[in-house]
Structure 1
Amino acid sequence: MHRITGIIMFVGLIFAFWALSVSLSSPAGFDAASSALAHNILAKLIAWGLLSVLAFHFVAGIKHMFMDADIGVTHEGGIQKAQATVIVSVVLIILAGVWVW
């Protein structure tokens, strides 16, 4: 999942860079980009999706850093870290959804 979310983030950068480019092009472009993000449901879904993927990828990356440091590298530790990754990611995804909507 960590690699899949990394690929999705890479592809999702197309949307993020487009929105940034439009918003920095002119004051009218900024108004258009902010209006799209404020009123367009598809834009909100894309933003929430990208934030969700980023949240999971970040939490899974922290889990991998613990594994690299030989912390909890047992079967039970792996299960606990996987469960913690899912729980923390779900909380962050819900918070991202509240923030976007």
Structure 2
Amino acid sequence: MQTEKLHSGKKRPVYLDMPTIIKHLPMPAIVSILHRATGVALFILLPFLLAMLSGSRSSGEDFAFYKAWADNWFVKLILWGVLWAFCHHLFAGVRFLLIDAEIGLNLETARKSARIVLIAGAVTAFVLGIALW
């Protein structure tokens, strides 16, 4: 890693190797980053999802159009990703609410709850995705 000397004489990294940094992150940090990323993604996708819902409820022809559009395997895959984002964001949000209530603050419980969030989000999205496919 290259370093750059600052005016105070301290060295700071110029190039950060993100794959190496991510590989060494603890699981609670990964859950936190994913919680923020899924929140941003859901916020950005919300107008599109609401437009699809509104359009599908306007008439029978529009519903048939949206149903045919959603039957595409690629669209289903994207919607499955949105479903995972929602499930992960929901479970991680509950975890953070419990942490705000000072439940599960010690290191072992935090690691265990982070693992549960990752598994529960993936399993719930998988089961719901199979049921909706």
For the criterion TM > 0.5, the same-fold answer is yes
* Unmatched runs of 5 consecutive residues or more in structure 1: none
1:69 positional shift = 1.0
Aligned position for 2:77: 45
* Higher normalized helix content (fraction of residues): 1
Deviations 1:5-48 (A, max 9, x none): 001111222331231232133221111111222x2112211211
1:62 positional shift = 0.7
* Unmatched runs of 5 consecutive residues or more in structure 2: 1-33
Structure 2 CA distance, aligned partners of 1:30 and 1:77? 46
Aligned position for 1:30: 63
Report if aligned partners of 1:47, 1:100 keep a CA contact under 8 Å in 2. Answer: no
Structure 2 CA distance, aligned partners of 1:61 and 1:70? 14
TM-score (norm 2): 0.69
Report if aligned partners of 1:52, 1:96 keep a CA contact under 8 Å in 2. Answer: no
TM-score (norm 1): 0.88
Q: Relative contact order (alpha carbons < 8 A, sep ≥ 6): 1 or 2 greater?
A: 1
* Higher normalized strand content (fraction of residues): 2
Structure 1 CA distance, aligned partners of 2:119 and 2:83? 16
Aligned position for 2:44: 11
**Percent identity of the aligned residues?**
33
Aligned position for 2:122: 90
Equivalence map 1:45-64=2 (5 Å):
45-64=77-96
Give the AA of the match of 2:40: I
